[in-house]
Amino acid sequence: MRGEEELSTSGDGRDRQLLRGHVAAARAEQLVQRYADCILRLSYTYLHSTQDAEDICQETLLKALRRQEPFESEEHERAWVLRVAMNACKDILRRNRLRSSVSLEDAPELVAPRVQSEAAEQDRMACVLDAVMRLPASLRIAIYLRYYEEYEVRDIARALGCTEAAVAARLSRGRRRLRGMLKGVVGDEFDF
Amino acid sequence: MSSTSELYREALDGFALAPEVKARMVTRLVAALENEGEVGGADPTMPECSVRVPFASHPPAVSGLAPSPSGRPQRAVLPWQPRRTGRLQRAGASWTYPYRIAATVLLLMCLAGVTSVQAAGVFRTLGAALSDLFGPVSAETAQSEGVAAVPGVSCTDAGLTLTAEAVVGDARSCVIVYSLSTVDGDAFDTAGLVVKSRTGDAYLLSVGGEGDAYPLLRLAFSEVEARVNGEMPCETSLSLYDADPSDNAVQVVQRLVFGEGQLDGAWDAVPAASVRFSRLCTWDTSGEETVADGTWELEVPLAYTQGPCAFTAGQTVSVGGHDAQVTALEMSPVSIHVRYTVDTAPLVTYGAQSSDGQGVQPDAGSINREAQRLALASLDVVMRDGERIRVLGIDDDQYVGAMPSSIGRNANGQAVVTYDLTLADRVVDPDEVEAVVINDAVEEGERVD
């Protein structure tokens, strides 16, 4: 096509800039689609709140776009993104000392409508989520990465920057506490 | 009926950003990149989640590289850009110089061996040796200046083999990691040797991030001697822990802090730490009990390339109500050196810069008061992935760091304050450092701009 020939032969800086802009937009779109919801869930798991999620997402994905070294794989990219997002969460946690949780209904602009399910199932779902959210942060994050993101222990260790032994210990302690908290609520269906 | 993990996943599935929010996010990301000029360029604006610090009222002078005392090439550092929040940011390039090749060769020699357990002890890769203590150490970090493997340095006596595995350090301090293993392969029974407080909590040797730690053991050597360049280091500490109770080894971590100028001239060759440990024993409130009555002597080459990462100075901060100008800021994988001049006279001087004459020693109370008066409020190392490491100041309601190592007086009568801070449980690759933030003033509960 003529346009493409012009881009490749004319050496016009403006065309190259346009092309770079298209590439950047495509890459930004890809990152947002791939990680925005994940970062939202991570923010909630860390901060008991989705209020800062958009800022954390923006900061994290901007770093990913600015990164010059290529990722080894999609798994490597995902672990890196999670790591940066977790550091941003910890930064906010330290600075704002947020204690109270914010329910989803307080941020209707950010979050898409949830699928309605039976009331009883909703209650059990709320109990399980509440139990996980009452765990200490280090255990909570390990449970989230294992049971929602379905990471293997070695990948969790990589994302958290700790040893595999530490991850295994946190998962074990998290499961033990959850079993105690959910006794009488879920019965034989406990499978954390 | 759904299981707990299914219910958990279903609950979190409800968290999803609305499509219009995602579209807005893409637009903002592209706009941010366009403002920078190109993907990968430096971000001239502070991120929204930045920290407010006292504004630097005096633009710094742009200074070139100061030559190192030994004349060896230093890492190239570009003049830093003054920033509204007073962060020192390095936009540096790194030289390659001959000593880096030596460190890399040592590393490759060590990494060629797969982690394995042998009857004579435990041989581990450099990464494994350091990662117990400092968290996962990437190959890139392990190859940076300040980190070196120590192949083949061991000594056996009284049924135990002491093996030096890795050394991390710079011109001012170093950390040597050893393994102490049984010759016959029997496991070390350390279950009853954990150091505990009155409440029964174990004292932990902090490891890496996220609070990982190994319990300190009630094991010690009755005599420890270390000499570097023929002299005793200023400070030395020793800790023992057990990374894997199922194997036949425990780990020993020794930190040596050298006096100012102690190793001047030594770095033209490879200096060695001559260490001597005698009689391993357990201890409790009733006394000591010998575990192994032996002597282990090693020559540990400090084979890391000590090329501290230098940040050009000139930043102005506020100290004790006075202006202070940072005149030196250097980082290595294990320590940070900061020196600043305060626009006021010191009331007392101490340490290497003491100018009060021989035999005139200020009392401890005077030193403490002066140190508090002229101290920094905080010092943080910010990594490229956003992690912030507090090296000095209040961190989670606990004080970290130390008092200034010396306070002196310059020709103009101004106080010159020096900190030599160790990164207590971290190995940091200076290439991954984005900024050093001094006197980070954070008001709790207030969102930053």
B207 touches chain A (CB under 8 A): yes
Give the closest-approach CA distance of B159 to chain A in angstroms.
29
Do A42 and A76 fall into the same domain? Answer: yes
- pLDDT band (50, 70, 90) for residue A33: very high
Q: Is residue A111 part of a domain?
A: no
Tell me: the pLDDT tens digits for B31-86? Answer: 888 776 644 333 333 322 222 222 122 222 222 223 333 332 222 222 222 222 22
Do A80 and A138 fall into the same domain? Answer: no
Residues of B in contact with A126 (CB under 8 A): 11
Do A179 and A132 fall into the same domain? Answer: yes
Last-in-domain residue among A41, A68, A100: A100
Identify the three-state secondary structure at position A183: coil
Nearest CA-CA partner of A40 in B22, B447, B46, B385: B22
Do A21 and A96 fall into the same domain? Answer: yes
A162 and B29: CB-CB below 8 Å? Answer: no
Do A36 and A82 fall into the same domain? Answer: yes
A61 touches chain B (CB under 8 A): yes
Rounded Cα distance between B241 and B215, Å, is 6
Q: Is residue A154 part of a domain?
A: yes
pTM, rounded to two decimals? 0.50
A21 and B34: CB-CB below 8 Å? Answer: yes
Structure tokens at B432: 């991954």
Do A83 and A29 fall into the same domain? Answer: yes
Determine which of A45, A49, A66, A92 to mutate to test the interface with B (most B C-beta atoms within 10 Å): A66
B161 touches chain A (CB under 8 A): no
For residue A132, give its domain range.
Answer: 117-184
Tell me: the pLDDT tens digits for B181-224? Answer: 888 887 777 767 766 655 555 555 543 333 345 566 778 888 88
Model pLDDT, residue B82? 23
Do A93 and A33 fall into the same domain? Answer: yes
Residues of A in contact with B19 (CB under 8 A): 112
What is the chain B residue with the closest CA to A190? B4
What's the CATH code of the domain at A79? 1.10.1740
Structure tokens at A16: 């190259």
Residues of B in contact with A50 (CB under 8 A): 15
Rounded Cα distance between B178 and B150, Å, is 10
Structure tokens at B378: 């905080």
Structure tokens at B408: 């002196």
Last-in-domain residue among A66, A100, A134: A100
Total domains in chain A come to 2
Residues 6+ positions from B230 with CB-CB distance below 8 Å: none
Do A78 and A51 fall into the same domain? Answer: yes
Q: Is residue A2 part of a domain?
A: no
Q: Is residue A192 part of a domain?
A: no
Q: Write out residues in chain B with pLDDT < 70, as ranges.
A: 36-152, 191, 194-216, 234-235, 259-269, 304-313, 352-361, 395-399, 424-427, 429, 431, 440-449
Last-in-domain residue among A42, A69, A100: A100
More confident residue, B359 or A67: A67
Residues of B in contact with A111 (CB under 8 A): 14-18
What's the CATH code of the domain at A121? 1.10.10.10
Do A87 and A124 fall into the same domain? Answer: no
Q: Is residue A164 part of a domain?
A: yes
Do A93 and A127 fall into the same domain? Answer: no
A110 and B21: CB-CB below 8 Å? Answer: yes
Burial grade of B345 (CB within 10 A; 0-12, 13-18, 19 or more): exposed
Q: Is residue A61 part of a domain?
A: yes
Rounded Cα distance between A40 and A49, Å, is 9
Rounded Cα distance between B182 and B188, Å, is 7
A136 touches chain B (CB under 8 A): no
What is the DSSP annotation of B288-306? EEEEEEEEEEEEEE--S--
Q: Is residue A176 part of a domain?
A: yes
Q: Is residue A12 part of a domain?
A: no
B44 touches chain A (CB under 8 A): no
Rounded Cα distance between B110 and A129, Å, is 46
Do A89 and A125 fall into the same domain? Answer: no
Do A47 and A83 fall into the same domain? Answer: yes
Determine which of A19, A32, A69 to mutate to test the interface with B (most B C-beta atoms within 10 Å): A32
A58 and B8: CB-CB below 8 Å? Answer: no
